[in-house]
Structure 1
């Protein structure tokens, strides 16, 4: 009962918002909209239960530039599917996102002072945001009309080179000083009408040019491990990669360069479980699969899930599952025999 209640509480703490239900109307309310010199502008204010802040965008001639600025009060996740054919540039000035693309086995960790360039044609997945975080992002989308106008795909092969399915763990790049200057100009601009159109279009192209230049002269990628959220996901990866090893908190902290207290506190914040609870859950899932689908002896299964002593494994399994490994396996065999009969 305790385990079920914890799962329910965890689910409540991270509500899932489906983008196909018009995500902006789900998490915010429209406070202003206007059209001037062909620029269509909308401003939204986030709902109190989501956070304190707003989202504003300008759209014209296949170019979209949006600015998110909010202090989040609760965890939430946006799940959606997009079919748009567009170049997307994102500049995360502050905050963190956990991006999950359907079909990819690993999450993409995106943190403040980073950016990415991607070509989206058809993609589905989710983005998770954490509470008590200030989140500030400038997002630019260049749709097919804009791409054709500036011959972006034929000249640079962006459609192929930056396809969303090619994103890997090192997809994000740190913001350079020139990029930060341009972002500051976008955030403080007060132009109107035609001058605003020319300014936004020129800055969007300048940012794209900078990103392409950085990628062209970039050295082989070295994984970025300085940021906290990446270190937490590196710990998750270390645990997942070999369940035969039971790492102590101190060992994990030393591997990723954190102190023990910060690792324990932040791991619990991000994953809603302690490191022990997380690793134990994975071990029990693997143990049940091996008990159900293999004929390996229990002492061998205990070693495969990190227990050198099968007695310790049996005690841990019984505490979590309410029965011993032997009885769990036997009950499954009986169910199969009854089904056949």
Structure 2
């Protein structure tokens, strides 16, 4: 595959946009790079009501394969969050030796959190509409935000990011906020304040979620090799590929040649949940999306997520969300949350 390589200046978004325009063309208007470029059509924009926090909302249609990397690193210690619509390959610098194909499963977006000390390489494929939201916040500002939320575990979490990159898949709540960001970008009145506010809300939810997940881990983490890391993402994709035939631990162990105990321990370390709790959560999330965004009958959705009996699906759904599938379908109040 012949890739066009773009090296960004990660020291600031303004410098990054200026360099990008020089490399690929387009119109640079204030905080926005738009128009036809050598890569395809781009609509990149960042919002910054305070200097220590930047929210970017980005949409591109690529006519070439593109490899994007961060060159010059940020001057101040910062947290970067990327919420990506399309499957893409993220490669992290040799300090962490992580490389993985981010498969969204049925989720609408994938999420990556990393510290500014890492260099990131992203492969994008041509002929694809790609959407992503980027959040960049300086360490000191984020610490103040998290302290205001009484998150005493933030410092430990941020230290761990020195040698770790977090991958997550979105849930309906995060997806709704992300879609609201893309919608707000099209507004003519109050767009900057709305985008910035939604971006801050999204950042707070994601960081709080990961901090809580981190706190629940009782045992010290083992170091997992890049090769093993890729295998576990393949296991995750296999688990979510067919809810009507969910494999047992023994079947997974045999297929991927990993001992059952090691399989369970390493999977929980990487994804933060035991295997079958992870699968159940995704079944419920996929059911929630289908109920909200499609007109499919509830019985058909139940079968798609692996429940042959509607009553069992309704019981499981209510246990998970505290309301039934029918209540979700019929209640605008529930759907707005």
1:24 matched to which residue of 2? Answer: 20
Higher strand share: 1
Residue 80 of structure 2 is aligned to residue 88 of structure 1: yes
Q: CA-to-partner distance for each residue in 1:219-261, whole Å, 9 max, x for gaps?
A: 7799443559xx9xxxxxxxxxxxxxxxxxxxxxx769xxxxx
Task: Normalising by structure 1, report the TM-score.
Answer: 0.51
Residue 89 of structure 2 is aligned to residue 97 of structure 1: yes
State the aligned residue count: 211
Q: CA-to-partner distance for each residue in 1:207-227, whole Å, 9 max, x for gaps?
A: 123213433554779944355
Give, in angstroms, the shift of residue 187 of structure 1. 0.9
| Contact 1:119–1:159 (CA under 8 A) maintained in structure 2 | no
Residue aligned with 1:132, SS:
coil
- When residues 71 and 152 of structure 1 are mapped into structure 2, their CA distance, relative to the original with a 3 A threshold, is farther
Q: Which runs of 5+ in 1 are unaligned?
A: 1-9, 35-40, 232-253, 257-341
1:186 matched to which residue of 2? Answer: 181
Give, in angstroms, the shift of residue 114 of structure 1. 1.0
After TM superposition, list the pairs within 5 Å mapping 1:1-341 onto structure 2: 13-20=2-9, 22=16, 23-34=19-30, 41-45=31-35, 47-48=37-38, 50-61=39-50, 62-79=52-69, 80-83=71-74, 84-112=76-104, 113-120=109-116, 122-143=117-138, 146-147=141-142, 150=145, 155-158=151-154, 160-162=156-158, 163-167=160-164, 171-189=166-184, 190-191=186-187, 195-216=190-211, 218=213, 223-225=232-234, 227=237
Give, in angstroms, the shift of residue 118 of structure 1. 2.8
The answer to which structure, 1 or 2, has the higher relative contact order (CA under 8 A, 6+ apart) is 2
Give, in angstroms, the shift of residue 133 of structure 1. 3.2
Residue aligned with 1:172, SS:
strand
Partners of 1:74 and 1:191 lie apart in 2 by 30
Task: Normalising by structure 2, report the TM-score.
Answer: 0.51
- When residues 27 and 66 of structure 1 are mapped into structure 2, their CA distance, relative to the original with a 3 A threshold, is farther
Root-mean-square deviation over aligned CA pairs:
3.7
| Contact 1:43–1:57 (CA under 8 A) maintained in structure 2 | no
Give, in angstroms, the shift of residue 176 of structure 1. 0.6
Q: Which runs of 5+ in 2 are unaligned?
A: 10-14, 222-228, 242-254, 258-337
